[in-house]
């Protein structure tokens, strides 16, 4: 019965947790990502660090989109990805 007490504080903590900067950038909201990073960091150069982090996240997101732009679900079952899928499934 005691295990059912934990979801309540976890839901409350999740509600007040800052937005993931990676998710915000992927949804096209870099300002929200910057605000989230500013909230998580402190110091004199917090804004510069946040802008650099958002630029890095945007760059990485563009690379991921370019690499997986034409990928489909069936790619998981071809070539070396088939081996990876089998390992993860076990």
Q: What is the pLDDT of residues 38-63, one digit of tens each?
A: 888 877 788 899 999 999 999 999 99
pLDDT at position 11 is 93
Which residues in the chain land under pLDDT 50? Answer: none
Give the residue from 16, 24, 9 showing the smallest Cα distance to 57: 24
pLDDT at position 4 is 84
pLDDT at position 53 is 94
Cβ atoms of 33 and 24 within 8 Å: the answer is yes
Task: Dig out the tokens for 15 from the structure.
Answer: 């509600």
């Amino acid at each position: 019965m005691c295990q059912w007490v934990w979801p309540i504080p976890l839901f409350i903590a999740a509600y007040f947790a800052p937005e993931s900067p990676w998710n915000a950038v992927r949804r096209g909201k870099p300002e929200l990502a910057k605000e989230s990073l500013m909230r998580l960091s402190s110091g004199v150069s917090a804004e510069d660090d946040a802008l650099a982090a958002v630029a890095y996240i945007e760059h990485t997101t563009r690379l991921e989109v370019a690499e997986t732009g034409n990928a489909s679900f069936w790619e998981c079952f071809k070539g070396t990805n088939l081996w990876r899928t089998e390992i993860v499934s076990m």
